[in-house]
Amino acid sequence: MPLLIKNGEILTAESVFRGDIYVAEETITRMGRDLEAPPHTEVIDASGQLVFPGFIDPHVHIYLPFMATFAKDTHETASIAALIGGTTTYIEMCCPSRRDDTLEGYQVWKAKAAGKSACDYTFHMSVTKWEDGTEGQLREIVRDGITSFKVFLAYKGFFGVEDGELYSTLALARQLGVTVTAHCENAELVSRLQAKLLAEGKTGPEWHEPSRPESVEAEGTHRFATFLENTNATGYVVHLSCQRALKAALAAKERGVKISVESVLPHFLLDKTYAERPGVEGMKHVMSPPLRDARNHKPLWDGLASGLIDTVGTDHCPFDTEQKLLGQAAFTQIPNGIPGIEERVNLLYTYGVKRGKLNVHRFVDAASTRAAKIFGLFPRKGTIAVGSDADLVIYDPSYRGVVSAKTQHVNNDYNGFEGMQMEGRPSVVTVRGKVQVRDGQFVGERGRGQLLRREPLPPGGSDGR
């Protein structure tokens, strides 16, 4: 059924306009004032509400075998949680381990999502080893529309690549017009520091951060940037957590390296004292890079406000209390990760826009548009324009609520942001013209989500802007 959204304040990364949006089939076909509704059109009155482009989470884990267990969500649960929170597209990390075949891994991840997600999605393809045959397999995956890779400089022996493998991956990516995303921590230093701390009897979750200090992340970021510089590849740092690493990335940007930066929700809102809470409460807040000293919050918010930090993702990665307790005897066994796919938009709006730290256009840019540009989805996704997919978030800025595990849709028994305020939430969310959410309830079609084919970067690469 056609859709007419009337009298909303339509906000994109660069403009604001009060008016109407008409959607035929799956696409925005008209925008203007006082648009007429043909018969059989569903009319939604958006007076007093904001209308945003569907938000894009550029970094999630849904199917993830990791640290002797599996992340808790399925594409059904994660996509419904995403949509209720205003995210209409996510990019999942496809993460076979070094033991697995790369192409088979891709097929497994693809099969897990097919027909299950209620919102659109794509993948970053992890390159976790480089051996005979890897190049041919990666070429095939890129031909299938996956135009970003992922490398881990951390997680030695499991996901982590050596420098030679990093070089080969970047050289191929440069040839194919693929953007390489990277988890930047020095794997050798992490394992040495972990061993040292455990030998000293330091086994609790509060020792996770000291085992991967800021210097270790700054080194990884600097090394990734140096490899980009010398391969002329295009890169994207994921979940950057601290000022030292940010300085390394910005120094590279300044010398012309094609590098973008993502930080994730927990690093703006939580600090290392959460992981220092006794027992399982601390374990719930163990992720990598770790939650940092709170002095990093201001540089991250400032970097985000000015656009030096390009995007905000979640690194959504739910493990429940029982799984976290796998690390009771040693912090190195605590499954790393925290969910956030449902909260990202509302908490960024509340603690960023409403608290005066983030201009509303930069909010749209960081949570939607910039990711669409960097990862080859723009202008199909990431904006409101004639011809774009009708992924729309009608947002009620007068809503008041509190984050709670009791009301969440993610498949987990706790919420790392428990008790935080929500000053706004989506009242209607559409995916390609179909209403999927109304007032916090999923009312749509399960399995509606499509795997998005993406084009490679133009020759010469781009940082998306």
Per CB under 6 A, which of residues 255..314 are in contact with ligand URP?
Answer: 287-288
Residue number, 37 or 193, with CB nearest to Zn ion: 193
H-run or E-run covering 427:
strand 425-431
Nearest approach, Cβ of 266 to ligand URP (angstroms)? 9
Paired with 18 in beta bridges are: 9
Nearest approach, Cβ of 73 to ligand URP (angstroms)? 12
DSSP 8-state class, residue 326 = G
Residue number, 214 or 315, with CB nearest to ligand URP: 315
In three-state secondary structure terms, 220 is: helix
* Contacting residue, 73, 315, 342, 343, with ligand URP by CB under 6 A: 315
Which two tokens mark 142? 């890129």
Per CB under 6 A, which of residues 172..211 are in contact with ligand URP?
Answer: 183
Which residue carries 């693809």 as its tokens?
110
Which residue carries 């192409």 as its tokens?
103
C-alpha–C-alpha distance, residues 424 and 62, integer Å: 26
Nearest approach, Cβ of 111 to ligand URP (angstroms)? 21
Residue number, 236 or 395, with CB nearest to Zn ion: 236
In three-state secondary structure terms, 126 is: strand
Nearest Cα neighbor of 291 from 305, 302, 277, 278 is 277
- Other beta carbons within 10 angstroms of residue 70's beta carbon come to 13
Nearest approach, Cβ of 299 to Zn ion (angstroms)? 20
**Stated length of the chain:** 465
C-alpha–C-alpha distance, residues 269 and 282, integer Å: 16
Nearest approach, Cβ of 316 to ligand URP (angstroms)? 9
Conformational region of residue 84, where left means phi above 0, alpha means psi within -120 to 50, and beta covers everything else: alpha
Q: Which residue is at the shortest CB distance from Zn ion? A: 183
The site for Zn ion, by CB under 5 A, has a size of 2
Nearest approach, Cβ of 345 to ligand URP (angstroms)? 20
Residue 336 contact among ligand URP, Zn ion, none, beta carbon within 5 to 8 Å by kind: ligand URP
Residue number, 271 or 315, with CB nearest to ligand URP: 315
Binding flag, residue 317, ligand URP (CB under 6 A):
yes
C-alpha–C-alpha distance, residues 6 and 20, integer Å: 4
Residue 435 contact among ligand URP, Zn ion, none, beta carbon within 5 to 8 Å by kind: none
Residue type, 213: P
C-alpha–C-alpha distance, residues 58 and 261, integer Å: 11
Residue 342 contact among ligand URP, Zn ion, none, beta carbon within 5 to 8 Å by kind: none
- Of 73-81, 122-130, 253-261, 308-316, the window that binds Zn ion (rule: CB under 5 A) is 308-316
Binding flag, residue 315, Zn ion (CB under 5 A):
yes
C-alpha–C-alpha distance, residues 118 and 283, integer Å: 31
> Do residues 58 and 311 lie in contact, with contact meaning Cβ atoms separated by under 8 Å?
yes
Binding flag, residue 337, ligand URP (CB under 6 A):
yes
Residue 337 contact among ligand URP, Zn ion, none, beta carbon within 5 to 8 Å by kind: ligand URP
* Contacting residue, 4, 10, 20, 61, with ligand URP by CB under 6 A: 61
Nearest approach, Cβ of 392 to ligand URP (angstroms)? 29
CA distances from 95 to 72, 158, 308, 414 (A): 15, 10, 28, 25
Binding flag, residue 185, Zn ion (CB under 5 A):
no
Q: Which residue ranges make up the site for ligand URP (CB under 6 A)?
A: 61, 183, 287-288, 315, 317, 336-337
Q: Which residue ranges make up the site for Zn ion (CB under 5 A)?
A: 183, 315
